[in-house]
Each structure stands twice: as C-alpha cells, then as structure tokens.
Structure 1
C-alpha cells in the first residue's frame, strides 16, 4: 500500500503553515480554498490523525502537524535538489566533481575557485582530497578523482589529458637556530650527515613510492605532508629541501634559513594538472580552464 503522504500534500501543508490560513495558501498555490481543504481533510483521514487545531481562528498545526511539515520540507528540498541534479546531468553537468590536490601546492587559490563555482552551480558537490607524490597520480589512475592538480614526477599520458602548471624551486632549509646555521657555507655532506633528514611519505597505494627531501645515507623522520615537513624543519627536528613558494614568508621572517651546500645541485620540479580524456563534464572543463588562468598563484 502506498503512503498517503504525497509531495502535493506536503506542498499544501507547507503553504498553509507559511501563510497562516487555508485561503492565503490556496491563493499562493493558485487553487480554490475548497481544493486545499479537501487535500488536508483527505490526508488526515488516510493517516488517522489531526493535523490542524480547528478551534483557533487561524490555521494552527497540532504537534503531529508540525512534525509532518518540518520533515516534509526536508523531503521537498531533497526532491527539488534531485530534480535539478537530473536536469544538470542531462545537460552535461556532473552531480559531483572530485579534485585531488597535491600536498606541495597552496590550496587557497583552488578554494577561491570553488567559492566562485558554488555561486554559479550550488547544486554540484565538490569533493577535495589531498595526496602526496605518486598518490596524486594514483588517485586519477584508480578513478577516485576526476582532476589532479600539482602532480609531480613522470607524466602518465595515454588516457589522460596533461597540462603543465609551471615549475617549483627547492632550497635546503633549516630552523633559524639550527647548528648548521653557524657553520661556514657551503655546508659539507659530512656536516649534514649529523642530522636527520625530514622526508614526506608517498601516499600512493599501488605505484612505486617516492619521497621528497630525501638525503641518502641519513637517518630519517618521515611525515605525511609538505605542511608537516615545513613544521618539522621550523622546530629544528631535521634538515632537507623545501619548496620555495611554501616557505617564502618563513624565509623572509628569518624563521627558516636557506643554506648553500658544497655538493649543491639545483632542485626543480615540474607541476602537472591531469584528467581523463573521456571525461566531458562541464564542471571539470570549468575548473580546468580556471586553474590554467591562476596557475601562477599556486606556486
């Protein structure tokens, strides 16, 4: 047996509660008052409950009536959202877009784009995740994300569209009060070997693991993200290379010190944005275009 609570009945109850009278509700719904009264009476009869206290001059809901209106509004809202989502999907807009951002990037510029997008398309859900090194590519290959931003290392072409976002520079950085600061520069490998290397763990689940900031032969402190690596450097827990764009303010304030190494090799990494070629979603296309426009802000 079907429920007597229909969407039409819920809309009638909602209108009566908002307008505080059957007549006003009928006018708002472009119906005659008798039609509104019939809908309410029929619902009360089918449910075996009283929804309105008719001893009052104004239409006043009973406790059961209030509960039905409150819960009914949630159903009406969900129905409206589902209708809009179906219409969006038919016109090429996704119901959800999954964006994976590599830990090496600043998230704020992407958050700004998300805020802009939500004003235009509030019905589309945005799911943001963070991965490290191979984990960023892994999320796209495993189809757990639609768009990856800031991936580093080897580009996996074939099924993916690739866009370069630019390059980032790394510097060897330590805390302002680290013992290496007092040594003459360039710093020798022998001096560096006395201290732990802070490295970022690869979050990949199926691809060969890589690490950022690895100094071969040194003891290691492994952390989950670039942000945690920077914090560990600032606390003097160890040494290693850090992306310049992430520590610029700390370098300017003196909290971190950039040191020259005797065996220095320029460290630079190319950043990639990638997505599946067969994904023709309009939300994806919107973010691809916008991220290309703001790529300089990411680093």
Structure 2
C-alpha cells in the first residue's frame, strides 16, 4: 500500500499541519474541504496510523503524525529541488537577475562578477539590493532575488542551499578623537570600559532576527538602518562599533579610526565570519546566475579572502 502514496497526499498533510485546520488547508490548496479530508483519510489508511486527532475543535497532530511530518517535509523538499534542477537544465537565458548582498560583503566584488556576466550576456539586466543581517535570507524566501550573498551562521533555512565563498573580518573601531581611543583599550578590557559609551548598532530590517542582538555589549545604543550610516556616525565620533575591515582599512591607515583591540569583541577586537552564496532549492539557476556564481568564486579563488589584516 505504501507504493500508492502520492505527493499530493503529502502536500495536503503538510498544509493541514501548517495551517491548523482542514478548512484553512482547503483554502490554501484551492480545494473543497471534503477533498482535503478524503486525501488525509486515504493517507492514514495507507500508512496504517492516525495522523490527526479530530476529537477537538481543530485537528491536532498525533505523536505518529509529528514524526511523519518531518519525513513528509523532507520528501517534498527533495522533489522540489529535483524539479527545479530539471527546469534549470531546460531554461533559457534570464531577462533579469536579482541579487541580494549582505552589507558586510564588498559590493565592488559583486560588480566585478556582474561585469563578467555582462560580457557574455549583455541583454541580461541586474537588480542588486544590499541588506543587513536577515535581509538576504528573507529576500530569498520571498523570491525577491535569485541569488543571495549571506554572512554568518545565524540565518539558515532548509529550503536554501549554501556554498561557502570566503571569509570577511569585522573590527571594533572608534574615531581617533573619541574618549575610548584616548582611554587605551587593551586585550583585557571588559564591559565596564564600554558601559558609558554609545555603541552604533546595525538594525535588521526584516523580522528574521526579531528579539535578538548581535555583538551588543553596551547598554547605550544608537541603531541605524545602513552600514554607511554606521560608518559615518563612528567617523563623526558619536560612538563605537564593528565595521568590515575592507570598509575601514583606509580610515585606519590614515588615522581617522583606531581599533579597539579587546578580546571582549573577538580576538584582538576582530571577528571573522564565513560568507556564503545561497539560492533556493526549489528555484532553478539560469545561465546568467550560474556564470555569476562561477565568476564570484573565481574572483575569490584568485584574489583570496577579503583581507583581514
């Protein structure tokens, strides 16, 4: 009987579990409620277990249903990935390639990769968004981009595939005239040395990291929406914060900024994070997207990682 299982039954099962009722699932699937009930009943008969307890006002997953739900999700994800790969093999050239880039990644390197693609496919237009934290992940989930460049390990999703690209370093910095610069922060400096000074913090425009903070150690914060704003405020002496090393290297070399080399903020005030090129498992990559990925990896292989010293 297990050979008679269908993908439609499994999608119906997952949809009922996610929506909380047969009626809501029917609306999402554009089907009548009785059809959803029949599909679940047939699936239960074929599996030989009850998936939902129907004794209450709303169907509730049984212990067996909870176990099998994760298996159903995994099967559907693999099938979607297979279909996407097959479609990608037969798809023509994209008219547009939307990309979302984490604000910690140097945009000029994205430009170099785009230039290579444009040399081969001059008719393809590009749309590039630069967003911090959970922004690139959300853009992929909402299908606002085909490729995303994401930084760190905090925004994983089973529907998204990740391939390590390089590493990027963030360093804690402050303006040369700021009291913290004159205070002489050492490797052993702790939270108390920063408690009276404003920390400039980049906010997540999405709700992906709602309720979470990353690297915030000062009780006094100024939250900004862009990396440029954070950079500008730190340069102006308003406060201190972490910025990508590639962005502030010239400021450091020319003495406008100084590093805060405390181990409280990473080894010698430096935090290195992995950068990933990501895309949805269920969305095929066309020729331009594949060449962009190849160009970006080729750039990182020939140039090495984003400088950390």
Class of the TM-score when normalised by the shorter of the 2 chains: 0.5 to 0.7
Q: Distance in 1 between matches of 2:146 and 2:211?
A: 22
* Corresponding residue SS for 2:185: coil
How far 1:298 moved relative to its partner?
A: 5.3
Aligned to 1:3: none
Please say if residues 171 and 244 of structure 2, whose CA atoms lie closer than 8 Å, have aligned partners that are also in contact. Answer: yes
TM-score, normalization by structure 2: 0.62
Root mean square deviation, CA, Å: 2.4
From the superposition, tell whether residues 207 and 221 of structure 1 become closer, same or farther in structure 2 (CA, over 3 Å).
closer
Q: Distance in 2 between matches of 1:184 and 1:196?
A: 17
Q: Name the count of aligned residue pairs.
A: 210
From the superposition, tell whether residues 210 and 117 of structure 1 become closer, same or farther in structure 2 (CA, over 3 Å).
farther
- The aligned runs of 1:147-186 (5 Å cut-off) are 147-186=147-186
- The aligned runs of 1:107-118 (5 Å cut-off) are 107-118=107-118
The structure having more radius of gyration, on CA atoms, is 1
* Corresponding residue SS for 1:294: helix
Aligned to 2:229: 228
Q: Distance in 2 between matches of 1:163 and 1:180?
A: 39
Q: Which has the higher contact order (CA 8 A, sep 6+)?
A: 2
Q: Distance in 1 between matches of 2:259 and 2:209?
A: 32
From the superposition, tell whether residues 166 and 110 of structure 1 become closer, same or farther in structure 2 (CA, over 3 Å).
same
How far 1:152 moved relative to its partner?
A: 2.8
Please say if residues 166 and 274 of structure 2, whose CA atoms lie closer than 8 Å, have aligned partners that are also in contact. Answer: yes
Aligned to 1:239: 240
Aligned to 1:131: 131
Q: Distance in 2 between matches of 1:119 and 1:229?
A: 35
Aligned to 1:281: 286
TM-score, normalization by structure 1: 0.64
From the superposition, tell whether residues 265 and 298 of structure 1 become closer, same or farther in structure 2 (CA, over 3 Å).
closer
* Corresponding residue SS for 2:210: coil
Deviates more, 1:279-288 or 1:145-154: 145-154
How far 1:124 moved relative to its partner?
A: 1.4
* Corresponding residue SS for 2:261: coil
Gaps of 5+ in 1: 1-88
Gaps of 5+ in 2: 1-88
Q: Distance in 2 between matches of 1:263 and 1:252?
A: 23
Please say if residues 137 and 148 of structure 1, whose CA atoms lie closer than 8 Å, have aligned partners that are also in contact. Answer: yes
* Superposition misfits of 4+ residues, deviation over 6 angstroms: none
Aligned to 1:140: 140
Q: Distance in 1 between matches of 2:105 and 2:211?
A: 19
* Corresponding residue SS for 1:231: helix
Please say if residues 107 and 298 of structure 1, whose CA atoms lie closer than 8 Å, have aligned partners that are also in contact. Answer: no
Q: Distance in 1 between matches of 2:238 and 2:258?
A: 14
Please say if residues 138 and 206 of structure 1, whose CA atoms lie closer than 8 Å, have aligned partners that are also in contact. Answer: yes
How far 1:209 moved relative to its partner?
A: 5.8
- The aligned runs of 1:67-146 (5 Å cut-off) are 92-146=92-146
Please say if residues 202 and 211 of structure 1, whose CA atoms lie closer than 8 Å, have aligned partners that are also in contact. Answer: no
Q: Distance in 1 between matches of 2:155 and 2:263?
A: 31
Please say if residues 201 and 224 of structure 1, whose CA atoms lie closer than 8 Å, have aligned partners that are also in contact. Answer: yes
How far 1:94 moved relative to its partner?
A: 1.0
Q: Distance in 1 between matches of 2:265 and 2:117?
A: 43
* Deviations 1:144-191 (CA, angstroms, capped at 9, x unpaired): 110001333335353322111222222221001111122233244323
* Corresponding residue SS for 1:292: helix
* Corresponding residue SS for 2:135: helix
Say if 2:175 is the partner of 1:194. no
